[in-house]
Amino acid sequence: MKRLSPAARSLGTVTLVLIALLGSAYAIGRSLVPDRPPAGVTTAATGPHYADQERARSTDGPDGRGPAGTGQSPDPEPSPEPTVVNGIATYGARSTTGTSTVALTFDDGPDPRYTPQVLAILREFHVTATFCVVGEMASAHPDLIRAIVADGHTLCNHSWNHDVALGSRSRERIQADLLRTSEAIRAAVPDAPIAYYRQPGGAWTYAVVAVSRELGMTPLHWTVDPADWRAPGAGRIASTVLTGVEPGAVVLLHDAGGDRQGTVDALYRILPDLTSRFHVEALPPGTT
């Protein structure tokens, strides 16, 4: 057998090394090229989305139903621009009487200590008002609901347990809350109309306005707020109301939810002045 020269052996060694290097380079390069996706699959920056599946809607909640903890389904329609009254977005909730009449409204009751006092004062001055009642309070004190209606006052739904965040919850939950409250009211006064709904805290949303209207109730906001829920004293409550009232005003007051003696006492200062300047009457109950 013919022996190879040293030069030939060196050339063969170099050739083998080059072949090995080329093979390694190919393997490395192939690993860097992504495989072709299977039929029906596309790739995207956020991960694969299958062609036969609807791309999931973006939500904030872990259950995919809106902001965490609210159980709210994303609204398929964009909300309209909210109406703003005194810096509060009301989404078209009613904030005036629509006439020159002034309306007093009382929230959060009925309360066995303060509601009877309010009713007695209103009776003394021959004034009717609108009572925005809480469902659990109506259920606990049906006799007071009957007394309100017997004196010719108008009823307003104010949610079951004063849930300020109710407007951010699902429409189904909003509807169930409002219906439960109306049922508690009608358990005491079966034939009394409940023509209005007031959102606790004035925390209006497009959803809660829409649901209250679907249930036949007018969403009711206010014009004058003396912040009597902070118990600032009868003098300050009366002063804020009397200086702020204009024709058509809806006045926000409270007959429950805390110490409301200041509100009761303020009425003795408010009503003589108010009735001398305006016609003061409950909002019309309608036929709902």
In this structure, is residue 160 part of a structural domain? yes
Task: List Cβ<8 Å contacts ≥24 apart for 159-165.
Answer: 159/134, 159/135, 159/199, 159/200, 160/134, 160/135, 160/136, 160/184, 161/134, 161/135, 161/136, 162/108, 162/134, 162/200, 162/257, 163/200, 164/200, 164/201, 164/203, 165/70, 165/203
pLDDT at 4 over 90: no
* Domain count of the fold of the chain: 1
Q: Write the pLDDT tens digit of every residue in 183-223.
A: 999 999 999 999 999 999 999 999 999 999 999 999 999 99
Q: Which two tokens stand for residue 5?
A: 């020269």
Q: Write the pLDDT tens digit of every residue in 46-98.
A: 333 222 223 222 223 322 233 333 344 444 445 566 788 888 899 999 999 99
pLDDT for 188: 98
Q: For residue 269, what is the domain's CATH number?
A: 3.20.20.370
Nearest to 142 by CA among 87, 189, 206: 189
In this structure, is residue 270 part of a structural domain? yes
Parent domain of 197: 89-277
pLDDT for 201: 96
- Active-site positions read 107, 254
Percentage of the chain modeled with pLDDT above 90: 68
In this structure, is residue 59 part of a structural domain? no
Instruction: Say if residues 110 and 133 touch (Cβ distance below 8 Å).
Output: yes
In this structure, is residue 109 part of a structural domain? yes
In this structure, is residue 39 part of a structural domain? no
In this structure, is residue 258 part of a structural domain? yes
Q: Which two tokens stand for residue 37?
A: 């996706």
Spatial distance between the Cα atoms of 93 and 284, rounded to a whole number of angstroms: 16
